[in-house]
């Protein structure tokens, strides 16, 4: 099985006709994702790769039931686009857009939850259930079907770690890139229960970064609530104090949020922490025996 998306998931693409949306729509279709409609205001009535394009999400949903929407919408308009999808009743939103103003995201975060929608991102690579569906920008060829779930704050590290696992003969159930912005729609703690309940996920990998307290919160949650094994990797053991590394949320405050502090919390809760991406596969193999 998988979480969040599978071969039956019907996907709408907001911003389908823009350069990013067009490129990744083609990639998702090639992977086998069931893309049913696109939305670009002013382009309604056109089609792209044989898929109808609408002016609004409401119009698209009236003609094509959608289980998920992926957004390739410029930052100034991304929050309004997310809210449009949530208001139309789409239960899963995947926002790839980076650079969304913090105050815009703060407002949208609570409104989206009020509609009962789940948001992945923003500033994320999306998610993939290997062999079933890709709703994002991940390179599908590095993933393979199997029993390991991955939740990651980093896009490129997600690909690298999945590649190491696949080369080691260890496939993945679902891989979720949650994004690295200060305000994101779904956290480690909110996604871990889905993997715990998935009968075909046997182990979960957490991929974290410096900054914030998401990994520490996840460590406490795992210790108290999960029976399945969890392993982790934290990027940034060599990061200078006070520096932001990559994502907007990856900034250290004093001794808090360092890779070492996160690793200590995780390991104190029985979660082994790899020091290199390649070591993740070794830790996973040991715990799947």
Q: What angle do CA 231, 145, 229 make, to 5 degrees?
A: 20
DSSP E strands in 153-247: the ranges are 172-177, 203-209, 230-235
Distance CA 189, CA 151 (A): 10
Is 24 assigned a catalytic role? no
* Terminal CA-CA length for the chain: 20
- Candidates 24, 64, 110, 247; catalytic one: 247
Count of all residues that appear for the chain in the document:
289
Q: Mind giving me the DSSP string for 42-83? A: T-TT-EETTEEEESSHHHHHHHS--SEEEE---HHHHHHHHH
Q: For the chain, give the longest Cα–Cα distance.
A: 57
Strand partners, 244: 251
Helix (H, G, I), strand (E, B) or coil at 160: helix
The conformation of residue 8, written as its DSSP 8-state character, comes to T
Read off the tokens for 172.
């993945």
Task: Decide: 142 and 103 in contact? Cβ < 8 Å.
Answer: no
3 state DSSP class of 172: strand
| Residue labelled with tokens 């790839």 | 96
Tell me the catalytic residues. Answer: 247
């Amino acid at each position: 099985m998988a979480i969040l998306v599978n071969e039956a998931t019907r996907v709408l693409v907001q911003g389908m006709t823009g350069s990013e949306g067009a490129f990744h729509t083609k990639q998702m279709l090639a992977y086998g994702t069931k893309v049913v409609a696109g939305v670009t205001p002013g382009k309604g009535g056109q089609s792209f790769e044989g898929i109808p394009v609408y002016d609004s999400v409401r119009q698209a949903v009236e003609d094509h039931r959608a289980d998920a929407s992926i957004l390739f919408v410029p930052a100034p308009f991304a929050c309004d686009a997310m809210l449009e999808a949530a208001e139309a009743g789409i239960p899963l939103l995947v926002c790839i857009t980076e650079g969304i103003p913090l105050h815009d995201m703060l407002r949208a975060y609570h409104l989206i939850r009020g509609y009962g929608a789940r948001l992945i991102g923003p500033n994320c690579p999306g998610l993939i259930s290997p062999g079933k569906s890709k709703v994002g920008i991940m390179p599908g060829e590095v993933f393979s079907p199997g029993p390991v779930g991955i939740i990651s704050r980093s896009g490129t590290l997600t690909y690298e770690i999945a590649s190491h696992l696949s080369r080691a003969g260890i496939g993945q159930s679902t891989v979720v890139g949650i994004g690295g912005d200060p305000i994101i729609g779904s956290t480690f703690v909110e996604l871990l229960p889905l993997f715990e309940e998935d009968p075909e996920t046997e182990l979960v990998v957490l991929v974290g970064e410096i900054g914030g307290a998401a990994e520490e919160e996840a460590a406490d949650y795992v210790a108290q609530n999960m029976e399945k094994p969890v392993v982790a990797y934290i990027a940034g053991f060599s990061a200078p104090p006070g520096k932001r590394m990559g994502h907007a949320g990856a900034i250290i405050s004093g001794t808090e949020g360092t890779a070492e502090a996160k690793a200590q919390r995780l390991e104190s809760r029985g979660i082994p922490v790899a020091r290199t991406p390649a070591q993740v596969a070794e830790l996973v193999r040991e715990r799947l025996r």
